[in-house]
Amino acid sequence: MSKRDYYEVLGVSRDTSDRDIKKAYRRMAMKFHPDRNPGDAEAEDKFKEVNEAYEVLSDAQKKAAYDQYGHAGVEQGAGGFGGGGFDGSFSDIFGDVFGDIFGGAGGGGRRRSSVQRGADLRYNLDLSLEEAVRGVEKTIKVPTLVPCDTCDGSGAKPGTSAKTCGTCGGHGQVRMQQGFFSVQQTCPTCRGEGKVISDPCGSCRGHGRVEKVKTLSVKIPPGVDTGDRIRLSGEGEAGSHGGPAGDLYVQVNVLQHPIFERDGRNLYCEVPISFVDAALGGELEVPTLDGRVKLRVPAETQTGKLFRLRNKGVSPVRGGPTGDLLVRVVVETPVNLTSRQKELLKEFQETADEGHKHSPKKSSFFDSVKQFFEDMT
């Protein structure tokens, strides 16, 4: 009986990558494996076919010969594939496929190192706008794990040491065999470390690390903003069994300011002015982060006008020119008027309504409204 195309057997195309070929083989082998299909002769035949196809397509030389000459190119060098013989060596192939999952190949695997880097930590730090713009040095307290002083981080009671695990012989892994199926698993006794502590340290209970609140000094550079992170190398959790410590990341959050609003390198603020100052013009005192400055407001200033004060903003932490302070003036309506003040305003209103030349925006607006309704009719 003629053999099926190996690519067809695995359900892949000829330009499929080696990684995807392995994935396809794993999927097909799991589907037709004899352990999953006991007594099913057809499934066993398909498993042999899948096994044969993968052995050729996973080997660069055999695959090249097969691509050029077909089955004839691998008949002599394929280890008896021509007769369809099955040698039962499924564990070697499954070790290769599942090596990434179970920590090693079919030949025995590698012991996982017990020395591991400590975890990174994050600390949220609130800053005022002034602190963020000018820079500041802050003292923070961080709960973390540090090496145990009693056992020097070994986890074993002083004067003793960890022993080689008797279950896995120090490999950190054990082989599980079920019929033809064989995989590597983490040793349940030592949890993959290859050693066990029979007499643990009383201070850390064998963990090698203890909880502690560390007090650190953090220098905040000028110009930071919400979302910026400052990395303190080696100030995270201590590593296990002498491993290097992780890092501490200080996450900056700038609190809302009662006067200023920040947008990147620029600052914004609103300054109320009387309608008299807006109409006649005048000089205002405007707050900045460096103190008060004088701002000249021209006559006939409208509410919402922006005035730019150069270089009164923020110097970005990553460099670049200093931003500006943008002052938005808001004309304030007077309240708690006396009778005399009300009379004066009525007199002003009577004179201002003549010709509508004192309120061009008002006049223009109502002209547009009038035209709108006329167009509707």
For residue 345, the tally of other CB atoms under 10 A from its CB is 14
Residue 329's nearest CA partner among 293, 264, 275 is 275
**pLDDT value at residue 267:** 97
H, E, C per residue of 109-144: CCCCCCCECCCCEEEEEEECHHHHHHCEEEEEEEEE
First-to-last alpha carbon distance for the chain, in angstroms, is: 91
pLDDT, tens digit (0-9, with 9 covering 90-100), for 320-364: 999 999 999 999 998 899 999 999 988 888 887 665 566 666 666
Query: pLDDT band at 101, cuts 50/70/90?
Result: very low
Residue 201's nearest CA partner among 154, 269, 169 is 154
Query: pLDDT band at 286, cuts 50/70/90?
Result: very high
In order of start, what are the domains of the chain with their CATH numbers?
6-87 (1.10.287.110), 121-158+202-254 (2.60.260.20), 261-332 (2.60.260.20), 339-376 (no CATH)
**From CA 305, how far away is CA 330, in angstroms rounded?**
8
Whole-model pTM: value is 0.59
**From CA 204, how far away is CA 361, in angstroms rounded?**
78
pLDDT, tens digit (0-9, with 9 covering 90-100), for 116-137: 788 999 999 999 999 999 999 9
φ/ψ (deg, to 5) at 138 = -115, 145
Helix (H, G, I), strand (E, B) or coil at 284: strand
Mean pLDDT rounded to a whole number for the chain = 82
**pLDDT value at residue 161:** 86
Q: Tokens for 122?
A: 């994050």
pLDDT, tens digit (0-9, with 9 covering 90-100), for 90-99: 444 444 444 3
**pLDDT value at residue 229:** 94
